[in-house]
Amino acid sequence: MCNNTMTFWLLTNFVSAKARNPSFPTPEAAKEALDAELCIRNHKQRNIHVPHVNLQNIAEMPVDLGIPKGEEGMIYHTEIVRNERYDGSDTSSFSEESSSDDDYEAVRNPEDAISLDSSGADETNIDSDDAISLDKYQYESDEHEHANEQNDCYEQSKCLHKGEIKITFQKEELWVKNGLQLKHDFVHHFKPKKHFDDVYGDCESETELLEKLNANPAKYIRCIIHHDGCHDATCIPVDKLSDVPAIHISGRSKIGRTFNEDEVLVEVLSRNKNSKEVNGQVLGVFRRNRYQGIKHPVFICTVDENGSHLLRPMCKTVPKIKIKTSNLRSDDNMPIFTVYDYDESVEVLKKSTDVKVSSKEHLCVFLVVFITWNSTFTYPLGRIVKILPWGNTVARGLTILNMQHGVHSIYSKETIDQVNDLQISEGLDEPSTERQQNRMDCTMLDAFTIDPPDAQDLDDALSLECRQDELHVGVHISDVTEYVMKDDAYDNDAKQRLLTFFSDIDTPRHMLPEPISTRKCSLLEGKRRLALSVFYCFDKDGKRKEITSQDIVRPTVIKSKKQFSYSQAQLIIKKKEAENEITKIEKDLKIMFKIACALRKQRLGNAMHASQTVFNDRGAEDNEHEAHFLVEEFMILTNITVGKMLYKQFPECIPVRYQPPPSDENMREFLRKKRRIY
């Protein structure tokens, strides 16, 4: 097995992530998709052997549609678009030849300073002898790059902002995150050489789309589109009470110039009464759910099996992007790709290098900038701005995956400065006396944490206090709000991350910088820490007793007495020794496990006896599940308690996550297909 293939095998089997906040899409989902779909695709037709990953981008924010339109028939990805239904009378304009990148040209404007090379026109006269190998291209591209020398993301960021180090692929990571700024005149120099009928039709305003929706809501339905392939899509109505569960769209022209997960207006074309299938077409886009306000996003792509002039974004935002390649091949039949330099000072692309790619020896991905999507062509036009190697190490491959999924490593300079200010004012150890005022002192409680053995950001603790015939349980959550203010540097960086990302083969990427997440706000053993505590009262049988609401949630100061790993907690739960042979805190843990069992039975009923076989990230059976559900049950109880309290106080503005039951139609279909289970 060669090094490159071994790299992919390792990535497939060992990349893992753990998200501490279940309210957001988690890297576990990305890991599952990676395990299922990360593979090496053998393209025999072109003799190209490249990786392809089918993973979703999680950016789901509404987009500002107030971006000016360009020339007639040209569109940036943020515009509202409309499709005219194609009747199939002229198939020539939909052929692979007609959609070739040669049908685009950069029209030279005498008043514009953009050269033919920089605008992309003089691209056909490529001499295969002038094309360089991928090895040489990567060497020249990386000669000024430095490997990440610091493991701690905070330390990396601090050194980077001081100018002491450079981060590998830092520039490219920013491109993928923010897209490129391209000069307006430069973009509009690209237009078709030839005349073709529109594939997708003209643009239609949001007002016109709303008029159709309001005039006939049974025929026109607002949906979220999901690309199933290049020519198929499924649209799910935004209104969960709609009598239409899903609308199927077949045909590239009916899908339109949409991005995956766009909010669109769909026209219902037919309904099959027998199969209940509904077919339709997209009329326009209300808003993008990906790449908010970015005109020219940069996608990480792999080569399409149908030709090297088409690249497939790994995120599936659009099915394919047309790029410029030479019609020539090198003497050894390697395809030649044209790579462009981005000149940020004048916001244009300038032709840089022609690169021969041999996938027998190299595994690589392409960074492609979205330039424009003309209404007469099937796929958008893009240009390669960088070829990145997966590399012959797992770390290099993981760097690309982190870039693709927005797993950030660098904190802003404002965040670094804010940490420094905190360190100067009160240090990074225990909280100041002023911060501990007006808080309930719970440092006398025997609080303990249960986490993975290498965990440093300990954000929750448990405690038990026996009072006569009552058991008082405390659930203590680290109070980061004492240090993180709304819209401050910490908060803005955290918004970009949404969660803490853990990997078995890389350092954690914390939502908050390490001095805050692993020190100041971590419930470390023997350290005074600020917390928000939720208290419960149970009888000896584990039945919950009501206490007054004002006593349930309190700002507190706690001091953890013991840091348990899950394996240590599991051993204590299974201990059979006499009670006088275990410590008080171990006895507390065993009692709390019994309470957790009672909570679990009340919550799940007989389902609590379902198979408890659980597998860890490496595929081995997890024998610590009882320690895990001890923590889980109290966290679930706390989430429910706080959720009810907030909803009661702010019923109009608290977002509540719920899982509705399946529709009767879906349930009948499920039972029809799974007759054997009942």
pLDDT tens track for 36-91: 433 323 332 233 333 333 333 323 333 332 333 343 344 444 333 333 333 333 32
DSSP element (H, E) containing 565? strand 553-565
Label residue 278 by pLDDT band (50, 70, 90): very high
Choice between 248 and 401, residue whose per-residue pLDDT is larger: 248
Find all residues with CB under 8 Å of 635, minimum gap 6, and list them: 460, 475
306: how many CB neighbours lie within 10 A of its CB? 14
543 with 473, same domain: the answer is yes
Q: Is residue 421 domain-shared with residue 347, that is, in the same domain?
A: no
Q: Is 90 exceeded by the pLDDT of residue 418?
A: yes
| Between residues 678 and 628, the one the model is more confident about | 628
Q: How far apart are the first and last CA of the chain?
A: 47
- pLDDT over 70 at 4, yes or no: no
Tell which of 404, 433, 452 closes a domain: 404
Pairing of strands 335-343, 104-106: unpaired
**Banded pLDDT at 617 (limits 50, 70, 90):** low
- pLDDT tens column, 296-337: 999 999 888 776 788 999 888 888 999 876 555 555 667 888
pTM for this prediction: 0.70
pLDDT of residue 14 exceeding 50: no
In a domain, 130, yes or no: yes
Looking at the structure, do residues 448 and 385 belong to the same domain, yes or no? no
Does residue 456 share a domain with residue 324? no
Better-scored residue on pLDDT, 56 or 406: 406
Q: Which of 31-40, 297-306, 506-515, 634-643 shows the lowest mean pLDDT across its residues?
A: 31-40
Residue 600 falls inside a structural domain: yes
What are phi and psi for residue 524, nearest 5 degrees? -75, 150
Are 456 and 555 part of one and the same domain?
Answer: yes
Which pLDDT score is estimated for 97?
33
Predicted local distance difference test score (pLDDT) of residue 620 = 55
Candidate ranges 76-90, 229-243, 561-575; pick with highest mean pLDDT: 561-575
CA angle 394, 400, 404 (to 5 degrees): 140
pLDDT-derived band of residue 428, with 50, 70 and 90 as boundaries? Answer: confident
Residues 354 and 298 in one domain: yes
pLDDT of residue 18: 34
From CA 393, how far away is CA 6, in angstroms rounded? 9
Give the Å distances, CA to CA, from 475 to 435, 597, 632, 666.
20, 16, 11, 39
Same domain, 423 and 396: no
The pLDDT assigned to 134 comes to 65
pLDDT band at 576 (very low <50, low <70, confident <90, very high): confident
In a domain, 221, yes or no: no
Once rounded to an integer, what is the mean pLDDT over residues 629-643? 93
Taking CA atoms, 389 is separated from 6, 48, 312, in Å, by: 14, 15, 16
User: With bands split at pLDDT 50, 70 and 90, how would you rate the model's confidence at 360?
Assistant: low
Q: Which two tokens stand for residue 132?
A: 């360089």
Higher per-residue confidence, 138 vs 462 = 462
pLDDT of residue 329: 57
Is 138's pLDDT higher than 70? no
Neighbours of 346 (CB within 10 A): 12
Task: Tell me: do 317 and 433 sit in the same domain.
Answer: no
236: exposed, middle or buried (Cβ count in 10 Å: 0-12, 13-18, 19+): middle
pLDDT of 451 > 90? The answer is yes
Instruction: Provide the mean pLDDT of the chain.
Output: 75
The rounded distance, in Å, linking the Cα atoms of 489 and 5 is: 41
pLDDT at 170: 77
Residue 649, CA distances (Å) to 536, 642, 653, 654 in order: 20, 11, 10, 9
Top-ranked range on mean pLDDT: pick from 4-8, 186-190, 565-569, 669-673: 565-569
Q: Could you tell me if 364 and 387 are in contact, meaning their C-beta atoms sit under 8 angstroms apart?
A: yes
Class of residue 490 by CB neighbours under 10 A (exposed 0-12, middle 13-18, buried 19+): buried
Is the domain of 462 the same as that of 347? Answer: no
Q: How far apart are CA 11 and CA 181, in angstroms?
A: 33
Measured distance CA(468)–CA(593) in Å, rounded = 19
Residue 346: pLDDT band with limits 50, 70, 90: very high
Q: How many structural domains compose the chain?
A: 2
- Give a three-class secondary structure readout of 95-132: CCCCCCHHHEEECCCCCCCCCHHHHCCCCCCCCHHHCE
Residue with more model confidence, 182 or 53: 182
Average pLDDT over residues 22-32: 39
**pLDDT at position 70:** 40
- Residue 90 forms part of a structural domain: no
In this structure, are 593 and 559 located in the same domain? Answer: yes
What's residue 54's pLDDT?
34
User: Which strand (E) or helix (H) includes residue 673?
Assistant: helix 664-673
What pLDDT is stored for residue 515 in this prediction? 93
Distances (CA, A) of 46 to 8, 43, 305, 309: 21, 6, 8, 11
Residue 285 CA to residue 205 CA, distance in Å, equals 9
CB contact at 8 A, 52 and 41: yes
pLDDT confidence tier of residue 439, bands split at 50, 70 and 90: very high
Whether residue 284 is contained in a domain is answered as no
For 39, the domain range is 3-73+103-159+169-197+292-404
Whether pLDDT at 538 is above 70 = yes
Same domain, 10 and 44: yes
- Name the E strands within 173-304: 190-192, 220-227, 232-237, 247-250, 263-271, 278-287, 298-304
**Is residue 661 a part of any domain in this protein?**
no
Whether 532 shows a pLDDT value over 50: the answer reads yes
**211 in a structural domain:** no
Residue range 393-397: average pLDDT?
A: 75
In the prediction, which pLDDT does 280 show? Answer: 93
Structure confidence at residue 352 (pLDDT): 80
Q: How would you write 308-359 as a 3-class SS string?
A: EEEEEECCCCCCCEECCEEEEECCCCCEEEEEEEEECCCCEEEEEEEEECCC
- Pair 483, 422: CB distance under 8 Å: yes
> Among residues 372, 404, 436, which one ends one of the domains?
404
Q: Does residue 554 lie in a domain region?
A: yes
Cβ density class 372-403: b for 16+ within 10 Å, e for less: bbbbbbbbbbbbbbbbbbbbeebebbbbbbbb
Q: What percent of the chain has pLDDT over 70?
A: 70
Last residue of a domain, one of 376, 404, 432: 404
Ranked by mean pLDDT, which of 59-68, 188-197, 587-596 comes out on top? Answer: 587-596
Give the integer Cα–Cα distance in Å for 670 and 667: 5
Pair (549, 610) in one structural domain: yes
Q: Name residue 622's beta-bridge partners.
A: 614
Q: How far apart are CA 514 and CA 428, in angstroms?
A: 10
User: Greater confidence, 92 or 71?
Assistant: 71
Residues 466-481: pLDDT tens digits? Answer: 988 889 999 999 999 9
**pLDDT, mean of residues 241-251:** 88
Mean pLDDT calculated for residue range 268-295: 88
